[in-house]
Homo-oligomer: A and B are copies of this chain.
């Protein structure tokens, strides 16, 4: 409490130049130890035995007789100028020390790869080991003041009362040797002894369907383990609208949905820790992305307003919460950073996509589409960032498709036309591929896009999506007419016969399935066109189109272009990038700068509400047509 109190005989003040840092160290500590306490790491390959001579410093005051080791490493003139070895000088009274750049350990810069951006590992989280001088009658500083003084005075008292409650025990358990965990310059935890080497964090992408967690060592950004699980909220509905409806009709709905997602996150943490051999209490930070509804539910915030006009979120700002407050089982005082949302249906996952891919950097016209349960489109040009949400629906995840399924084992994920036969007698033939080459169990998003593209090509489906009966089909359809069946008076097209199917039933595409796809792909295409129009750009000018999300990785660009799911963007510019949202969360975990960038970016994005646009309905209707959008250079195959 009283900084002007005389330092006790057990502690001495050391100032470091040119850093300007001043700390109180235990009397008798070496300058090497004191420097480390001040956050200055010196080179010392011999481990402080005076052998390597790398920890050269200049002792400005007080004078000190050179040790044998110092006599070996310096000549008389150098000793005269105060050159010493940091490991040899023990501080007994107030000391002033100059540390030359050549003696400093240059932290190797470690970077993680984003999508066309490199991010230096510089987490907001750090640990500092302190060897505190024990209290005495002449140094009666309070425990907390003792700790803060040793950190150099810039660090505020921890806001957490429970940490203060634990402090006296933590400090005394290992004789006032304590490791402090700092997050964004604030103390979040104090551990007994030296635990500086154990510093972990986890990045989470909470999808409507799937939750993925990346356990990361924050000292170097190394990925220790990845674990994923189905979002257990699916039992209350496949899409966000049905979950919101559950919240607004069931009194305990919000609580239950939050418990579900927190439970799944905890299981993922547990599994990743087991896999990595890590103690979960050494995880002090989580970064979380997800769509706006998911981040609301995760934080226990009622998302009801998202579901009704005018679709406003309760919160869009980034939010940091203590782990214990959410029931997240990492270190209870660890912090959970939920990245900012942009709008009711453009969430923190979209922000993750932006920071992962550097869309906010002024790098020409770039577009990202994240197709999950919803389809978010982001367009970047010059200094502008535009985003919209397209009500694509979960068709691409297999929902609402008669035999639809997720991209799992046995899903038909590719449908292609090949020429079979030999010599001049070749005939086109349908080839299907299933994930894991397993017997077919259903059709997933990429298979759906492929199938419709193929059926359009052979003429079984018209450009308006009508499935033609055998008698009306064009000649190009004739090799496939046996696959056209009528069931309950409705036409369907057999993709895989009973002999190829796991259940012994054929896997078919129905007219209704085609209609669902048209709605989904039309929404995405129309959204993208409207954003491009907004910045007066044409599809063919797009320099890069990032297809994010699992579906984006499986989809075949040619098919997507053929059915007009994407506007006429040159196919070589289209790049599937996998879980870009999750990558964004990971970058925000290993880099405090990226986390701050996420906030800045979210505030900059111009959200375009499609339903407010007069032209949207026309664009949407046009985009339902199953044809390449005019101007597209379609890839030949």
What is the bound-complex CA distance between A106 and B103, given in angstroms? 63
Main secondary structure of the interface of A (DSSP, over half): loop
Given contacts A161-B300, A315-B144, whether A310 and B602 have CB atoms under 8 Å apart is no
Inter-chain contacts of A305 with B (CB < 8 A): 135, 143, 168
With known contacts A168-B314, A315-B164, A609–B140 Cβ distance under 8 A: yes
- What is the 8 Å Cβ interface bit string for chain A, positions 132-149, against chain B (1 contact, 0 not)? 000111111111111000
Q: Are B603 and A302 in contact (CB under 8 A)?
A: no
Residues on A lying within 8 angstroms of B by beta carbon are: 1-5, 135-146, 157, 161, 164-165, 167-169, 299-302, 304-305, 309-317, 319, 321, 325, 340-344, 602-607, 609, 611-612
CB distance from A186 to the nearest CB of B (A): 12
5 residue pairs A–B, Cβ–Cβ below 8 Å: A135-B312, A137-B311, A142-B313, A165-B299, A165-B300
- A564 and B516 CA atoms in complex are apart in Å by 98
| Chain B residues, CB < 8 A from A341 | 1, 142
Residue of B nearest to A258 (CB): B165
> Is B316 a contact of A142 with CB atoms below 8 Å?
yes
Instruction: Give chain B nearest CB distance to A49 CB in angstroms.
Output: 35
CB distance from A101 to the nearest CB of B (A): 36
Most B CB within 10 A of own CB, among A299, A340, A343, A605: A343
Q: Is there contact, CB below 8 Å, between B5 and A314? A: no
Known: A161-B300, A305-B168, A310-B135. A143 touches B315 (CB 8 A): yes
Residues of B within 8 A of A604 (CB): 2
Q: Is the CB of B144 within 8 A of A316?
A: yes
**Given A299-B164, A301-B165; A142-B606 close (CB under 8 Å):** no
Contacts of A309 in B (CB 8 A): 137
Interchain nearest-CB distance for A83 vs B (Å): 38
Measured between beta carbons, the chain B residues less than 8 angstroms from A1 are: 316-317, 340-343, 602-603, 605, 607
- Cα of A341 to Cα of B2 in the assembled complex, Å: 10
**Are B136 and A310 in contact, with the CB atoms below 8 A?**
yes
Given A302-B165, A304-B168, A341-B1, the answer on whether A607 and B142 have CB atoms closer than 8 Å is no
Given contacts A161-B321, A299-B165, A319-B164, contact A313 B143 (CB under 8 A): yes
CB A119 to nearest CB in B, in angstroms, measures 23
Also in contact, A302 and B169, with CB within 8 A (given A313-B142, A314-B144, A343-B140) = yes
